Structure 1
Amino acid sequence: MRFRSLIYSEILLLRFVQFLCLSQGYDFFYFVQMWAGSYCDTKKGCCYPTTGKPTTNFTIHGLWPHYSNDKSPSNCNGNSPFDQTKISDLMSRMQNSWPTVACPKNSGTKFWSHEWKKHGTCSESVLDQHAYFEAGLNIKDKVNLLQILENAGIKPDDKFYKVDDIKEAIKAGTGHTPAVECNNDPSRSSQLYQVYLCVDTSGSDIIECPVIPIRKCNASIQFPIF
């Protein structure tokens, strides 16, 4: 009897934590775009999805709820699993703009499921599953990072560019300050990996970041071919 009482108490506590996470909301989103050329140009390497090599462009990594105190909610509702049928009408856009290059080769479902469970469920009080993924796709359509950078003479040609010039070009193109994240290729060269912009709580508009994430990069970084 005592054991059953403990189990029941744990269930109530879990439900309370899930409710608290959902009710606390969030203050903004980080919208993170990735350059697949840099993901692939590491010792770990990459695998193209079953639909083929992604287009030569930045792709979505995620739409991540965040607090103004620089903390992030995560895994907010274990009772809201990813359901691909809910985004079936978005599938062609997902495959084009939100693909996976993780190994082993796959369709992207595992990646999307992870993003929904870890991040999407924490915005569920505002955006249901369909609205969450559609919001990310719509923001991507508004922000063509590759075109913005190429307009500033910054191209994925394996050359090195000043990270400050990259940030300034993106700010000029979007009207808002980005954060730039780098990774390293097998020879330890620092390369352009991800770009962070901030989005309002409705998932509709880019805003100035309440908190700009600190990501270390060398002064000059490589923009690898993909």
Structure 2
Amino acid sequence: MRFASITFIACAVLIASPDIAMGAPTGTKGSAVGSKGTTGKAKSAPAPAPAPAPAPAAKSKSKSATSTSAAPTSANLTHDKCPTGVLFTTDHCCFEENGQYVLSQQWTKGLGTDDYFTMHGLWPNTCAGKLTPSAGCDSSRVYKKVEALIKPLKPALVTDMTKYWPSKGKPNDDFWGHEWSKHGTCVSTLRPQCYKSYTKDQDIVDYFTNAMNLHKKYDYAAALKKHSIVPDNTNLKAINTEHGVNVVLKCKTNPATKVSELNEVWTYFSVQDLNTYIATQPGSSDTCPTQFLYFKK
């Protein structure tokens, strides 16, 4: 696999073709382990030198030929007017102002089956790893519950969220409302003024639609299963994930067994316009040790 690492603002974009997870066969008891931090990382190829001529370059179909320069824009562009062929712009309707997104998928007892991770959330982070305000970014768009707002516009989305984005210990709708209010309202590309023709609650529907699409695309349980890595309550497994992106593995120590268990997988993105997500280098580090338990739910 060949990687091209392109730096912009404070984040590095990782452009790579999708791949699958690799690791120890299920029947090998602790014999094949991945060292901490080896989550599919590869040496970056040097970025191409910029063209010296001031004239605009011809459009290229190659992803690696995309310009990394910020395109000059006017304020408050709508999605349909966002420039193409650049990795970021100076307009926050066309490029997320915080810098990165984190897709957090969790592996939690009692939530879903062993066939899939469930969603924790999709939230904006700064390139330095800082969170947006805990109370959200727009009090006029904060809702404690969102199901009744989504269902009339996209009922199938609620069905997907019920399966893949369940809550533990409180109603699903409370969890979804929290995720939207705290994180969704901070997504600069989803602000109502960014739409050419905004429909009430369209931003909420788009937030959860984008999150569900990413969750299904980056199906790490299925990728691991292809390489015979399945949840096991007795054997410690080391997971080296290669899915065309570098991921961050988050573990927690079980207080009863004192064993480190896989808790979440984080994937980092930058976003262009409404729903173009580009994998980036992680903005945080693994918290899993060399060996940890990928348990049966």
TM-score by length of 1: 0.72
Match for residue 129 of structure 1 among 170, 189, 204: 204
Shift of 1:78: 1.6
Deviations 1:100-157 (A, max 9, x none): 12x2xx4301111111111111005426111111100001111111111112222111
Shift of 1:208: 2.4
Alpha-carbon distance between aligned partners in 1 of 2:113 and 2:188, rounded to the nearest angstrom: 30
Note if contact 2:127-2:283 (Cα within 8 Å) is conserved in structure 1. no
Secondary structure, aligned partner of 1:155: coil
The letter for the 1-side match of 2:284 is: P
Secondary structure, aligned partner of 2:106: strand
> Which protein is bigger by CA-based radius of gyration?
2
The letter for the 1-side match of 2:186 is: C
Higher relative contact order, structure no. (Cα contacts within 8 Å, ≥ 6 residues apart)? 2
Secondary structure, aligned partner of 1:194: strand
**What is the count of residue pairs matched by the alignment?**
180
Alpha-carbon distance between aligned partners in 2 of 1:91 and 1:98, rounded to the nearest angstrom: 9
The letter for the 2-side match of 1:218 is: P
Alpha-carbon distance between aligned partners in 1 of 2:276 and 2:103, rounded to the nearest angstrom: 11
Secondary structure, aligned partner of 2:292: strand
Match for residue 220 of structure 2 among 130, 145, 155: 145
Alpha-carbon distance between aligned partners in 2 of 1:132 and 1:32, rounded to the nearest angstrom: 14
The aligned counterpart of 1:84 is 147
Alpha-carbon distance between aligned partners in 2 of 1:124 and 1:107, rounded to the nearest angstrom: 28
Note if contact 1:180-1:194 (Cα within 8 Å) is conserved in structure 2. yes
The aligned counterpart of 1:161 is 237
RMSD: 2.1
The aligned counterpart of 2:101 is 29
Alpha-carbon distance between aligned partners in 1 of 2:218 and 2:183, rounded to the nearest angstrom: 21
Alpha-carbon distance between aligned partners in 2 of 1:212 and 1:111, rounded to the nearest angstrom: 25
Q: Equivalences for 1:42-81 in 2 at 5 Å?
A: 54-56=112-114, 57-74=116-133, 75-81=136-142
Note if contact 2:102-2:124 (Cα within 8 Å) is conserved in structure 1. yes
Match for residue 219 of structure 1 among 260, 268, 290: 290
The letter for the 2-side match of 1:25 is: E
Alpha-carbon distance between aligned partners in 1 of 2:247 and 2:97, rounded to the nearest angstrom: 23
Larger relative helix fraction: 1
Secondary structure, aligned partner of 1:220: coil
Shift of 1:206: 4.5
Question: Which consecutive segments of 4 or more residues in structure 1 shift more than 3 A?
Answer: none
Note if 1:115 corresponds to 2:186.
no
Note if contact 2:119-2:215 (Cα within 8 Å) is conserved in structure 1. yes
Deviations 1:57-76 (A, max 9, x none): 20110001011122221311
Secondary structure, aligned partner of 2:148: helix
Note if contact 2:252-2:260 (Cα within 8 Å) is conserved in structure 1. yes
Match for residue 264 of structure 2 among 180, 194, 198: 194
**Residues 61 and 206 (structure 1), Cα distance of their counterparts in 2 relative to 1, 3 Å cut:** farther
